[in-house]
Every structure is written in C-alpha cells, then in structure tokens.
C-alpha cells in the first residue's frame, strides 16, 4: 500500500488561487488513487494454489478416493489419490466476478458422490488453500498452522447402481424393466433383448389427436392446421387485391389474367408451398391427399383463368 501524505503535496489555498495548480493537484490525487487501486486489485486477483489431501480412511484399510474438480470455465478431470496423497492445482481468479471451484469425491466403500466448494472467491481469502478430506467432509487449514479446524460437511447424492435402478420406478408404478446403461449419471433405455420385459405402450396418433370427450388428448394436428392456414392465404389472394401485401407479391412475381403468377425466376420455398396448395387438382378446389383445403365458385368469371384452371377432378379423368 502506498502511504503518501497529501498535505505536503497539495496546498489547497494555493490551488484555489491558481487554476493550473488546482488541476495539477487533482492529477496527483488521481495517480495516487490509481496506484492504490492497482495494488488492491493485484492482491485480490493474484494466483491461488489449492492443495487437497486424502484423509479418508475406512479402518483398518486405507481408502483410495477419486476426485473431480471443475469451475464454470475449467474442468480438471478425474484423479485418484491414495491415503495421505495430495493433489495440487493453481489458477488466477477471473476479474471482476471471481471464480468458484467445486470438487466431487467418491470411494469404494461409500454409495454416495460427495461435493464441496473447494474455493469460493467471495468466501475464501487464502492464496495457498490446503484441504484435508475425511469421511464427514473437508477441513481447511485456515491459518497455515496445519490444524485443519475449519470444517465443512459434504453435499452428497446417491450413486446409481446399474443392477438396481429398475427399482426406482416401483413407488410410482413406473417400472419398465432394468436399465442397461447410464448417461451423465442418469439411467437410459431398457433391455431390448428381453422380450418378457414390459415395454412402453405406444398410442396411435389418431387417438392422441382426437377430442378429449372422445378419449383423446385434444392435441391439434399441426400438419392439417398448417395447410388450412396456407389455404386461407390462397383465398385472400383472390379477394384482397387492394392490399399492400398483394401489390408487393404482384410486383415480385407478376400477374397472369389478374392473378399472381405462379412461376418466377427465384421463388421462395414458402411461395412454392403456397402455389402447390393453390394449384392442387380438383373441381375448382385445392386438395392435399384426400382432404379438401378450399373451394371457389366460378361466379362472373373475373377470377377464373379458363385455359389454366382445372375443371375436372383427377378421379374422373379416365
């Protein structure tokens, strides 16, 4: 820390009488404060070294632990420590939010995975942080005396046994058979080789889309709903010719007989789909499969192209 008395540098009475002296005094104060802030920041965000010692022992045999430390930015991977062995890593806290490192620990005799925040920038002020892990948690040497008197309990979760995970669904009657593999600690899939295992009951999509009063879920048919919306635009193209959007399309694709032309040099995909519905075969109507999308009457013929519109449904062509 820079300790400089400003009284010997700045004479406030002189500064008020001389504007140049005032500006020079302010500059000196800013420089001194900048140096002090730099020293404080350098101290807070200097490199930190963390040491983890394996003190877990299942009497009378020594216990190997597997640890995995990571932060939001760094993953240090898995490491195995024998009894009284240590693992050391160092890092520089990120500016300005700092860094949080947490580690997980497992060992053979424990059915759980244990977690602890090994370094928290907001909590820890040490630059050489030493931890000794035991069966109940982790103890930190907070004062450098080797006392390890600052202890924290584990945050533990049960490990999944591949052979027993099928029992997880029993309380809710959701069991579908034994799990064959795990992904990120979660069970996935059943045993496809065992024909006796009860599989998922797949429901016909028509049943799902039927009305609730008919035993379905009332799910809307997205494909058909989308086709109906496109057909509505086909209808609007014939009745809203004074609208701005129609004039834009007419300028882009041109008009044939008072109707927007179907083909252009560079048609967009959505326009091609719209034309596909508009020109689907039918007696004055558009069809997709067996579903009639829209229909129209000839009327006075102003909206009808005699030589281009289909007049006979494709089912009667033969």
pLDDT in tens, 101-131: 989 998 887 888 889 999 988 888 888 899 9
Please give the Cα distance from 234 to 239 (Å, whole number).
Answer: 9
Q: What is the pLDDT of residue 85?
A: 92
pLDDT at 263: 66
Q: Is residue 300 part of a domain?
A: yes
**Between 182 and 37, the higher pLDDT residue:** 37
Could you give the CA distance from residue 115 to residue 104 in angstroms, rounded to a whole number?
A: 4
Q: Which of 132, 158, 184 is the last residue of a domain?
A: 158
Alpha carbon distance 26, 9 (integer Å): 11
Instruction: Mark whether 72 and 15 lie in a shared domain.
Output: no
Same domain (yes/no): 32, 55: no
Phi, psi of 189 (to 5 degrees): 70, 160
**Burial grade of 119 (CB within 10 A; 0-12, 13-18, 19 or more):** buried
Tens digit of pLDDT for each residue in 263-317? 665 667 777 767 776 665 543 344 444 444 555 566 676 666 667 666 665 544 4
For residues 133 and 125, what is the distance between their CA atoms, to the nearest angstrom? 20
* Residues belonging to the chain: 318
Q: Among 139, 158, 177, identify where a domain stops.
A: 158
pLDDT at position 146: 80
Q: Are residues 150 and 72 in the same domain?
A: yes
Average pLDDT, the chain: 70
Please state the rounded mean pLDDT for residues 41-47.
64
Distance CA 91, CA 98 (A): 11
Closest CA to 66 of 55, 78, 76: 78
Residue 166 lies in a domain: no
3-19 core/surface letters (b: 16 or more CB in 10 A; e: else): eeeeeeebeeeebeeee
170's enclosing H/E stretch is none
In the chain, what are the helix, strand and coil shares in percent, each to the nearest 5? Answer: 30, 25, 45
Collapsed DSSP state (helix, strand, coil) of residue 165: helix
H or E segment and range at residue 67: strand 65-70
H helix intervals, 50-126: none
Residues 56 and 120 in one domain: yes
* Whether 288 and 259 share a structural domain: yes
Distance CA 271, CA 263 (A): 9
- Give the CA angle between residues 38, 39, 42 to the nearest 5°: 85
Range of the domain at 26: 6-44
Say if 180 falls within a structural domain: no
Is residue 96 pLDDT above 60, yes or no?
A: yes
108 and 28 share one domain: no
Q: What end-to-end distance do the CA atoms of the chain give, in Å?
A: 99
pLDDT computed for residue 269 by the predictor:
72
Using CA atoms, how far apart are residues 318 and 316, in angstroms rounded to an integer? 5
Residue 289 lies in a domain: yes
End-of-domain residue from the set 125, 158, 191 = 158
Q: How many domains does the chain have?
A: 3
Establish if 197 belongs to a structural domain.
no
pLDDT classification of 25: cutoffs 50, 70, 90 = confident
Q: Which residues of 156-167 are buried (b: 16+ CB within 10 A; e: fewer)?
A: beeebeeeebbe
Task: Supply angle C-alpha 211, 215, 216, rounded to 5.
Answer: 50
CB 218 within 8 A of CB 262: no
């Amino acid at each position: 820390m820079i300790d400089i008395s400003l009284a010997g540098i700045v004479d406030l009475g002189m500064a008020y009488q001389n504007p140049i002296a005032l500006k020079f005094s302010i500059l000196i104060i800013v420089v001194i404060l900048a140096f002090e802030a730099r020293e404080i920041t350098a101290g807070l965000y200097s490199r930190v070294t963390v040491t983890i010692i394996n003190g877990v022992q299942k009497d009378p045999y020594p216990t190997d632990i597997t640890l995995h430390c990571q932060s939001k930015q760094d993953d240090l991977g898995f490491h195995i420590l024998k009894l009284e062995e240590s693992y050391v890593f160092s890092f520089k806290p990120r500016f300005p939010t700092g860094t949080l490192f947490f580690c997980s620990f497992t060992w053979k005799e424990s059915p759980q995975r244990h977690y602890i925040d090994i370094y928290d920038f907001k909590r820890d002020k040490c630059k050489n942080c030493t931890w000794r892990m035991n069966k109940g948690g982790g103890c930190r040497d907070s004062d450098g005396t080797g006392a390890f008197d600052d202890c924290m309990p584990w945050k533990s979760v049960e490990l999944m046994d591949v052979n027993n995970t099928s029992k997880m669904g029993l309380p809710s009657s959701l069991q579908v058979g034994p799990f064959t593999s795990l992904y990120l600690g979660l069970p996935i899939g059943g045993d496809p080789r065992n024909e006796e295992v009860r599989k998922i009951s797949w429901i016909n999509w028509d049943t799902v889309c039927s009305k609730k009063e008919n035993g379905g879920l009332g799910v809307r048919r997205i494909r058909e709903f989308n086709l109906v919306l496109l057909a509505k635009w086909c209808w609007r193209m014939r009745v809203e010719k004074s609208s701005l959007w129609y004039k834009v399309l007419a300028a882009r694709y041109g008009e044939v007989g008072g109707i927007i032309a179907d083909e252009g040099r560079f048609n967009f995909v959505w326009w091609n789909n719209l034309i596909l519905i508009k020109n689907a075969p039918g007696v004055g109507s558009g069809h997709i499969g067996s579903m009639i999308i829209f229909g129209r009457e000839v009327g006075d013929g102003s909206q009808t192209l005699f030589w281009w519109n289909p007049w006979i449904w494709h089912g009667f062509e033969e």
